[in-house]
Amino acid sequence: MQNKKLRELLMNENGFAFDQSTGYTYNINTVGVEIIDWIKTGCDEEALVQHITAAYDVDAATARRDLDTFLNALLRYGLIPRQEEVSA
């Protein structure tokens, strides 16, 4: 799931992130920071849902729905590749 852009995303402990290739900056909440860290370790979506349900008081269906929303935002900003780019 991760790509070069996400690996190179500079992010501080407060969730302020800087994309070096575009110059865009982002404010990411605590859960988002953790998800990005998990993605960087190579987690797939299923593993991310497990991490979220283990770390927070939330059921798997809610975690999956919120994760989809967050991953779509990363996709929209080009921080993770589209499925076709991964398989190409």
Task: Write out the binding residues for another protein, residues 3-22 only, by CB under 8 A.
Answer: 10, 18, 20-22
Q: How far is the CB of 18 from another protein (least distance, A)?
A: 6
Instruction: Output 10 or 55, the one with its CB closest to another protein.
Output: 10
Instruction: Output 20 or 29, the one with its CB closest to another protein.
Output: 20
Q: How far is the CB of 79 from another protein (least distance, A)?
A: 13
What gap in Å lies between CA 80 and CA 63, rounded to an integer?
19
Nearby residues of 28 by Cβ (< 8 Å), 6 or more positions away: 11, 15, 16, 17, 36
Q: How many residues does the chain have?
A: 88
- Does residue 42 bind another protein (CB under 8 A)? no
Tokens of 36: 């990005």
